[in-house]
Structure 1
Amino acid sequence: DEEKEFEDKLDAIIRFNHVETLKLCLRDLNREVDPLYVGNYLSMLAETVMEVGLSLAIKTLGRKPRGKNKVSDMVVMGMGKLGGREMSYNSDLDIIFIYDGDDHEFFSRLGQKMISVLSTPTGEGYAYKIDMGLRPSGRSGALVSSLESFKKYHEENARLWERQALVRARPSAGNMKLGKRVMGAVEYFVYEKPLDEDFHKEIHHLRLRMEKELAKESEKKLNLKTGRGGIVDIEFLVQMLQLKFGHDYRPVRTQNTYRALEALNRCDLIDEDAFRVLRDGLYFLKKLENMLRLLHDGATSDLYENDFRKLALELNTKGDGEKLKETYISKTNEIRRIYERYFS
């Protein structure tokens, strides 16, 4: 029974993902691993599951592409936290499908099948939620792009935020030779094309919109991702500096925020005070995010009064929620101070 065999394989993928994540959770709760390790491990786990999911999608599609096209002529590009190897628990997968050839219909069906394999719930749950919003033309664009149409879009139509998003693009599954060719195009679009003199103002405008429309902070609720002085403050600042200096300083061309910070510091492109505040702040916020998501078993970034009290027990601050909140306010204030200095 082919359908039963398919479901069994699907269950096996989901079980493997859950067991590996659980093993990491236990090590994390036991304070054996740091947020950098967690982000890298979860991202490598996702890439392994994606590779198996793509193979299963190819086997169950039941047809081959026409002409000289091969089933292996597609790469899955990891974006966002996946591309930067900075995933947290319950993170979605931000991905883009790029193929080499002319059988658009086949590769569209293959992309749809892979999404179905990874995100369809079974008795074991599901592997990942998939976000395709960073593909060319966003949610209104085609599910998959040929390499040529990808290059044409970014040459002629891409907006600054799309160029910024490509800073974290990385081949994550599928044809890695094709992935290398995609990365050649990505490096050109991100680091070689000229930038408007006041490009940073557009990035800053988008950041403030995210804070207002997504974080919606209040006296009762803070948001450690999109809120004031949150993770996105650090990411946007680092990416702005990568776009600004990446043309002349190759070491800053990296998808990972920590690595980019270190490279910017080594190249004397940020001062020691900024480096220390951003590095320590990112470490603190990532640790907090991981613990918060374990606490709620979901992809939340909202922090309420009660969360600080519960997280204080896990973060070895002697159960003092007030003290943890004070530390949070202090660190996010410092991050925003640095952010404003570089964006002013």
Structure 2
Amino acid sequence: MASLSAVVSHAADQTADPERALANFNAWVDAFQSPSPYLRSIEEHPDAIKPLMAIFAASQSLSNVLRTEPELAGILLESGFDRRPNYQEEADRAWQGAPTLEAALDRLRWMKRRDFLAIAALDCLDRIELTDTVERLSDLADAVVQAALDIAHNFVAPSQVCIIAFGKLGGRELNYSSDIDLVMLTKDEPAPNDLKVAEALIRALSGQMRRGILYRTDMRLRPEGRFGRLVRSLGATRSYYEHWAEPWERQALIKARRCAGNAETGRDFERFARAFAYRAGLQEKELEAIRAMKRRAESETEKAGETETNIKLGRGGIRDIEFVAQLLQLAHGGRNPRLQTRSTLAALARLAEAGFLEADEAKSLADAYRFLRHVEHRLQLLEEHQTHLLPNDERKRIAKLMGAPETFEKRLDACRHSAREALERHFYGGQSLQSRTDSLDLAVFKDQNGAEQALKSMGSETSYGVPFPEAAETFAQIKSELVAACARSVDPDLALKSLASLAASTPNPGQMFAMFRDSPQTLSRLAELAAIPRLWSMLMRRPELIDSLFDEQTADTEARTGFEIKPGAWSRIAFRERLRSGARFVWGIIDRRQLALELTSFADAVLLTAKTEAGLDNESAIAAMGRLGARRPGLGSDWDVVLIGNNGAAAEKFLQLCNEAVEKGEIPPIDSRLRPEGRSGALIRSIDYYEEYYARHAEPWERLAAVNLRIIGDDPHGYGQRLQNALMSRPVSPESRTEMNRLRLRMKSERKQKGLDLKFADGGMADIELTMQLAVLERSAENHRLRAIYDQLAEARDWQWLTEGALPATANPMREAMTEASAIVERVWTRGGCK
């Protein structure tokens, strides 16, 4: 039997760094009070020392761990240590029976260290392939996250939180020193316990304890990034992606995978993520946004002087290969389900099978990916730092650890060349990065000189005559993304011009640019709004409202109702909510019908608050007319109202308060001319007067207008029903029909605009409204059931009452035409039309 010293010396000589291996072995032995059992095992089984010596040669960080906890080496000296354990069972066993949360986490850290050590040893001995290495590291992380969550459930509170992994953990491609990117979801609205558990889980994973941390945990991939809620419901998360997500967030969903927590919620999210990521094709605007993000990352790498030394982010690095695979997956995965894989190597192989990569190119990229990931692992094992830098003074050592010191540099250059060549061909369309950047900056603008000047002004180092060099530096980081965001808007020139004006009016634009850098979705949404003149004009009057446009209320896909407005602030709140609703409509979060409901809801709240401030008593009422009465107002609609009651002074005060808010631009114009006798009539009349007027004296056009009459708020005295009964008690005579038609034709001739007039054209919105109103007047007088149906469904903003006998054949086409025309008018109005 060979002596112990001979066994150790021989094993050290077989490693890439014999001197380091021997030094670390001796330090490990010295750390024991009694190393005899371990040394005896090595002497009796000489091959058992090989895993241990491989670690001592390749990883100083793990060697240091073995100095502090030398007994951990036992796993490496066991026969069969290369088996693939059930990490979840081991993690669960590790903490069971712990008396405190801290003790449970300490035991879990010990288990993680032990199994991490075994994986590293197998890798250093080349006993497992790259895919096996990264899958073991990922499965170990999954088990630790689940165990940490279970510990939080046991010691903090129960919850139904689901943990979604993104990035390398999501793709089961974890390296030795990766952050783990996590997002936390619940099936329904998060309960207080869910938030407590989420916070406890983050502390458990990334909190420093005696045995260090479990994993650096990054939560910034959650909706709205670091500004977003820590835990969101599945519905709110889906809503965010459907209405707010940037192209890079769609790209990130390729890797999304449940790693712990509620399984049902995880399955639901994974189904959504796959459908959303692989929806049909990849639009040029989305591709340009992803390119802009990649350019920014490369620019930062270049500024750091790491273009040639960073094997992940540098030229021809790991990220180049990942971008090629993911770009082609996004472009073709919707029609080719086999491309819908989280694994980079699997994606490359399947892209070749499907013909989107040449077989030789796919093999070259796969070989390069394996080699670069292998280099990455060797770098990180040295000190277990999150590094991707290959400095000159470490290259020889890494080459030895890779087992090919003579060919390392040549192989590295070849891999990086093939990776970059593929990126240039597939990602940048064959052009060099610089030429692609130059053409991007101005190609999307009609006035390229103006665009150049706008970009130059935004990148200036001064604002208000004060130097802000950091603003210029930050702007340089977001310039490409800003251009891409403007390109996605309806008017890139106007969007850029508007954003430049905003920057010029901001005392410290660097803060705004930093917000854009940290939250690309904010930049994208604001650029979209900057191309909408009327809404942007509103925002520039109150730029402090920008933050309110990016809160949870704005992201909600349901129409917001039930506004509560405090006296004294109603006009300013109305302005904010009108702007918010307009932004939600422009961004596609709500449709035209939901927009009308929101506008109606806060208009009602505003008017009722003004009524209270004016001193109108409970015997008084506000009746909405026109589009507001029908619950179909637009952003450019006046608010038509009439007042019911007896207090003339309070009525005058009400109108004065409203007109003051109108003059400030905080609410739309108030129009009270639909009252009896119009401008020359009394501002407020009693309910008895209105009842008598509509039953006996109202002109045909007044009867038509009153069809939309609606009492705002509670109606304890039944004014609405009394007025409806009076209005519909009189049949429509042939003479009235003739007068109504004459009025319709006169309005068309007087008000029709040049070009396409959606309102007054034949078959336009005015004709549909007149038909609806006339049908109500003609049929409801003889059909009380129809009147009740109308009253009920008008509240629900629906025209299904027409199918109950009024206009059954044309009800649905009319409704569809009105809905479509209203949406078009709304969008045209926001862009400065429909005067």
Query: What TM-score, normalized by structure 2, do the two folds share?
Result: 0.39
- Specify the code of the residue in structure 2 equivalent to 1:38: T
Alignment of 1:208-227 (within 5 A): 208-214=295-301, 216=303, 218=305, 222-227=309-314
1:166–1:186: 8 Å Cα contact kept in structure 2? yes
- Specify the code of the residue in structure 2 equivalent to 1:324: F
**Paired residue for 1:14, among 109, 126, 133?**
109
- Deviation track 1:1-50 (CA, whole Å, cap 9, x = no partner) reads x9962221111111111110111111111111122111100000000001
Q: Report whether the alignment pairs 1:126 with 2:229.
A: no
Corresponding residue for residue 334 of structure 2: 247
For residues 201 and 11 of structure 1, do their structure 2 counterparts lie closer, same or farther at Cα, with a shift above 3 Å needed?
same
Single out whichever of 185-194 and 169-178 deviates more from structure 2: 185-194
2:351–2:357: 8 Å Cα contact kept in structure 1? yes
2:190–2:233: 8 Å Cα contact kept in structure 1? no
The residue matched to 2:284 in structure 1 has which SS? coil
For residues 219 and 24 of structure 1, do their structure 2 counterparts lie closer, same or farther at Cα, with a shift above 3 Å needed?
closer
- The 1-side partners of 2:285 and 2:205 are apart by 41
2:184–2:231: 8 Å Cα contact kept in structure 1? yes
- The 1-side partners of 2:401 and 2:171 are apart by 26
- The 2-side partners of 1:315 and 1:205 are apart by 35
**Paired residue for 1:53, among 128, 148, 152?**
148
- The 1-side partners of 2:306 and 2:254 are apart by 34
Corresponding residue for residue 123 of structure 2: 28
Corresponding residue for residue 182 of structure 1: 269
Q: Report whether the alignment pairs 1:197 with 2:281.
A: no
- Specify the code of the residue in structure 2 equivalent to 1:78: A
2:307–2:315: 8 Å Cα contact kept in structure 1? no
1:104–1:146: 8 Å Cα contact kept in structure 2? no
For residues 233 and 247 of structure 1, do their structure 2 counterparts lie closer, same or farther at Cα, with a shift above 3 Å needed?
same
Unmatched tracts of structure 2, length 5 or more: 1-96, 430-835
**Paired residue for 2:203, among 116, 119, 123?**
116
1:90–1:293: 8 Å Cα contact kept in structure 2? yes
For residues 341 and 185 of structure 1, do their structure 2 counterparts lie closer, same or farther at Cα, with a shift above 3 Å needed?
same
- Deviation track 1:135-190 (CA, whole Å, cap 9, x = no partner) reads 00111111111001001101111000111001100010011121111112112211
- The 2-side partners of 1:109 and 1:121 are apart by 19
Corresponding residue for residue 420 of structure 2: 336
1:92 deviation in Å?
1.0
Single out whichever of 109-118 and 242-251 deviates more from structure 2: 109-118
- Specify the code of the residue in structure 2 equivalent to 1:331: C
Q: Report whether the alignment pairs 1:81 with 2:164.
A: no
- The 1-side partners of 2:170 and 2:264 are apart by 17
Corresponding residue for residue 296 of structure 1: 383
1:217 deviation in Å?
5.9
2:248–2:290: 8 Å Cα contact kept in structure 1? yes
Single out whichever of 17-26 and 103-112 deviates more from structure 2: 103-112
- The 2-side partners of 1:205 and 1:179 are apart by 31
- Specify the code of the residue in structure 2 equivalent to 1:139: R
- The 1-side partners of 2:306 and 2:121 are apart by 33
Alignment of 1:244-323 (within 5 A): 244-318=331-405, 320=406, 323=407
Q: Report whether the alignment pairs 1:158 with 2:242.
A: no
**Paired residue for 1:326, among 407, 410, 426?**
410
For residues 211 and 119 of structure 1, do their structure 2 counterparts lie closer, same or farther at Cα, with a shift above 3 Å needed?
same
1:216 deviation in Å?
4.5
- Specify the code of the residue in structure 2 equivalent to 1:204: R
Q: Report whether the alignment pairs 1:139 with 2:244.
A: no
The residue matched to 1:223 in structure 2 has which SS? coil
- Deviation track 1:272-293 (CA, whole Å, cap 9, x = no partner) reads 2320221011000010001110
Corresponding residue for residue 133 of structure 2: 38
For residues 228 and 220 of structure 1, do their structure 2 counterparts lie closer, same or farther at Cα, with a shift above 3 Å needed?
closer
For residues 47 and 237 of structure 1, do their structure 2 counterparts lie closer, same or farther at Cα, with a shift above 3 Å needed?
same
- Deviation track 1:277-333 (CA, whole Å, cap 9, x = no partner) reads 210110000100011101122111011001211111111114x4xx42332122101
The residue matched to 1:277 in structure 2 has which SS? helix
- Specify the code of the residue in structure 1 equivalent to 2:151: L
Structure with higher RCO (Cα < 8 A, 6+ apart): 1
- The 2-side partners of 1:212 and 1:103 are apart by 39
Query: What TM-score, normalized by structure 1, do the two folds share?
Result: 0.92
1:202 deviation in Å?
2.4
The residue matched to 2:309 in structure 1 has which SS? strand
- The 1-side partners of 2:295 and 2:147 are apart by 39
The residue matched to 2:182 in structure 1 has which SS? strand
- The 1-side partners of 2:380 and 2:130 are apart by 13
1:215–1:226: 8 Å Cα contact kept in structure 2? no
Corresponding residue for residue 25 of structure 2: none
Q: Report whether the alignment pairs 1:5 with 2:100.
A: yes
The residue matched to 2:100 in structure 1 has which SS? helix
- The 2-side partners of 1:302 and 1:90 are apart by 13
1:204 deviation in Å?
2.2
Corresponding residue for residue 232 of structure 1: 319
4+ runs of 1 displaced by more than 4 Å?
A: none
The residue matched to 1:302 in structure 2 has which SS? coil
1:195 deviation in Å?
3.7
1:201 deviation in Å?
2.7
Single out whichever of 116-125 and 222-231 deviates more from structure 2: 116-125
- The 1-side partners of 2:302 and 2:324 are apart by 18
1:171–1:180: 8 Å Cα contact kept in structure 2? yes
The residue matched to 2:177 in structure 1 has which SS? coil
- The 1-side partners of 2:370 and 2:198 are apart by 35
The residue matched to 1:32 in structure 2 has which SS? coil
Unmatched tracts of structure 1, length 5 or more: 65-70
- The 2-side partners of 1:220 and 1:249 are apart by 35
Q: How many pairs are equivalent? A: 332
For residues 215 and 119 of structure 1, do their structure 2 counterparts lie closer, same or farther at Cα, with a shift above 3 Å needed?
farther
- The 2-side partners of 1:216 and 1:266 are apart by 39
- Specify the code of the residue in structure 2 equivalent to 1:173: A
- The 2-side partners of 1:284 and 1:208 are apart by 24
The residue matched to 1:33 in structure 2 has which SS? coil
The residue matched to 2:362 in structure 1 has which SS? helix
Single out whichever of 219-228 and 35-44 deviates more from structure 2: 219-228
- The 2-side partners of 1:15 and 1:335 are apart by 39
The residue matched to 2:183 in structure 1 has which SS? strand
- The 1-side partners of 2:140 and 2:417 are apart by 34
1:215 deviation in Å?
6.0
1:220–1:304: 8 Å Cα contact kept in structure 2? no
1:99–1:145: 8 Å Cα contact kept in structure 2? yes
- Specify the code of the residue in structure 1 equivalent to 2:426: Y
Corresponding residue for residue 67 of structure 1: none
- Deviation track 1:115-150 (CA, whole Å, cap 9, x = no partner) reads 111111111111111001110011111111100100
- The 2-side partners of 1:217 and 1:341 are apart by 26
For residues 233 and 180 of structure 1, do their structure 2 counterparts lie closer, same or farther at Cα, with a shift above 3 Å needed?
same
1:248 deviation in Å?
0.2
- Specify the code of the residue in structure 2 equivalent to 1:337: E
Q: Alpha carbon RMSD of aligned pairs, Å?
A: 1.9
1:215–1:223: 8 Å Cα contact kept in structure 2? no
- Deviation track 1:38-77 (CA, whole Å, cap 9, x = no partner) reads 1100000000001100000111214x5xxxxxx2x22100
1:215–1:222: 8 Å Cα contact kept in structure 2? no
- The 2-side partners of 1:219 and 1:211 are apart by 9
